Amino acid sequence: MIRYSRASFYIGSAAAVLSIFLWCMLHFFNPYTDRFESAAAIRTFFLLFLPACAALVSVLMSRKWLMLAAFIWSLPASLYLALTPGVFALFGATSIAYIISYLFMRAKK
């Protein structure tokens, strides 16, 4: 049981931090464009950044329902970006890590 707890913590927190880092890179240090689009930043803030924050809170407070909510919330944007070439396809991997972390949290009980 301790292994599942540690695994869910490490996987979930790594995925959340990576998602936050990728979101910052997507809008402030994007290698594919040189302009800042505020509409896209706001949209992806709600679809990628906030679920990453929810996932981070979930692993810190051991709230499995919040991790599931973060996964479902970020899934559409993550799937879209997972099909793009480049570094931002890693959003798909972070979404998969959210569900894996949730499954480990669920197996912990």
Quick one: pLDDT band at residue 108, thresholds 50, 70, 90? low
Q: What CA–CA distance (Å, rounded) separates 91 from 64?
A: 20
Phi and psi (nearest 5°) for 17?
Answer: -65, -40
Convert the pLDDT of each residue in 51-93 to its tens digit: 999 999 999 998 999 999 999 999 999 999 999 888 999 999 9
pTM of the model: 0.89
Report the domain count for the chain: 1
Residue 36's domain comprises 2-108
Evaluate if residue 10 carries a pLDDT over 90: yes
